[in-house]
Amino acid sequence: MKPTTVRTIKALSLAESSRRAINSDAIEIQFSLANFVQIDGAGVYTIYLTQGDVNNPEYLTSISMFVSG
Does the pTM surpass 0.95? The reply is: no
Query: What residue segments make up the domains of the chain, in order of their start?
Result: 14-67
Q: What is the structure's pLDDT at 1?
A: 47
pLDDT in tens, 3-58: 555 555 554 554 466 777 888 888 888 878 887 888 888 888 888 888 887 788 88
CA distance 33 to 62: 16
CA distance 53 to 26: 21
